[in-house]
Each structure stands twice: as structure tokens, then as C-alpha cells.
Amino acid sequence: MYQNYIFDLYGTLLDIHTDETGIRVWYVMQKRFRDAGVFSRPSELRRQYVRYCREEMGRMDVPYPEIDICNVFQRLAEGKADRAWAEETAVQFRNAARVYCHPYRKTKKVLQELKRQGKKTWLLSNAQRVFTIPEMEAFGLPEYFDDIFISSDYGIRKPDPAFLMLLLEKHDLQKEDTVMIGNEFASDIRTADACGIDSVFINTGGYSRRKIAEMMKETDPAAKVRIIYSRNLEEILKEEDECLNG
């Protein structure tokens, strides 16, 4: 079996749904900003939030940029708040926008078993640290990882292979001993393919076999991609020659 297991987070280990557009979220934000001396209607705050996110993205000269959302909240505060305030605001925003978040049924069991076997486990997530670490801590997940890479820390995100290469190079991981596990072909499977490592696709999205076959056509025919058609993460603990495509 592999020695290094690199996991995506959302849709792979944590099942989450958020709604940042709901007006209730922006009423919560209106109160937060009013306390800081910024008086804007919820709809105006939402409009500016979207605009500032786009502007922050446009300033970055990489193919797949990732912003630091706290910069957006500081801009919304019109210079009246510091970084600590922005981080607290981001947490409130996420709490208001989150509909649900919980681990998939086998998440902890799989991570525990890999650690029991002496494997190294890593996280590579397109996410905001200020959102992600509290959500992981709520379910006791950080302790299972040898290192955690979150895109907002680096200004780049999957499918940019440079993001995955940062992890591989920092820890001197041998590609033949490493596998990437994720639920999205575009960001997880293609990134692994571009970096020359094997991958496992977890079908938490409920795609049909026909749709998965279509997505597979967009990967390198020589790529070793294992398809787990169910939502059962425990399947990755089985022998490597099962369920292989590519």
C-alpha cells in the first residue's frame, strides 16, 4: 500500500453545505459592521463583498489564485478594524452561512486505521484557514494529519499543480509512494495527474457511472485513478488493485 495519503477536505472527509447569499447572513453581518461604525444595508454589504472578492482575485498573477478572505472583511470595514477583528468577523460569517457540516460516516475510522498502520496523512484543501481550522477542530480532525495545507495560506489553489508540489517538496514525498484522495476530478484528480502521483476518486457527489466515465476521459489515459463509486471512504483501505481505472 501507499505510505503517504493526501486528502482533500470538503466533500471528501467533511460533508458541508453553506449559503453565503442568504439575506439572513447579511443581517448578521450588518450588525457586526454597525458595531464597528460601518452603516450599510445587508444588500449593500453583500454586493461589496462579492465585488471585493473579485478584485482581490484579480490582483493575483497566478492561474488559480486564492484570496485571504480576511482582507475582504477589512476592506468592508473601511479601515476601521484590524486583522483580529476581521478574523472574528470571518468566523461569524461562516457560522451564519453554514447550513450543516459533519464528517462522513467512515472519516475518523479511516484516518485512525491509516495512522495505526504507520502511514503518513496530509491535507490539501482549497479553503480559508479562518473557516477550516475551527471546522476541523470541532470534530477532532487536525490530530490525524502530519501537515495541513490550506490554499488561503499560499495564494494558490488546486488544480494548480504548484500547490500540491509545495507539499510534496516540503516533506520530500516519493511520488510512487503517494496517493491523492478527493471528490472532484477537476481539482483533485487532475492535480494529482499533473504531479505524477496516483489518485482515488470518492463519489460523494452521487455521480452516475456514465458521468464518471465521461470525466475519466479528460484525464491522462496513463494516469492511475482508482474509482470508489460509493460514498464509503473505507474502500480506500482495500487492496490497491481493486476498482482501478486508467
Please state which CATH class domain 4-16+101-245 belongs to.
alpha beta
pLDDT tens-digit readout, 53-79: 999 999 999 999 999 999 999 999 999
* SS3 of the chain: CCCEEEECCECCCEEEEECCCCHHHHHHHHHHHHHCCCCCCHHHHHHHHHHHHHHHHHCCCCCCECCCHHHHHHHHCCCCCCHHHHHHHHHHHHHHHEEEEEECCCHHHHHHHHHHCCCEEEEEECCCHHHHHHHHHCCCCHHHCCEEEEHHHCCECCCCHHHHHHHHHHCCCCHHHEEEEECCHHHHHHHHHHHCCEEEEECCCCCCHHHHHHHHCCCCCCCCEEEECCCCHHHHHCCCCCCEEC
pLDDT band at 135 (very low <50, low <70, confident <90, very high): very high
Band of the pLDDT at 240, cuts 50, 70, 90? low
pLDDT at 199 over 70: yes
Structure confidence by residue, pLDDT tens digits, 140-153: 999 999 999 999 99
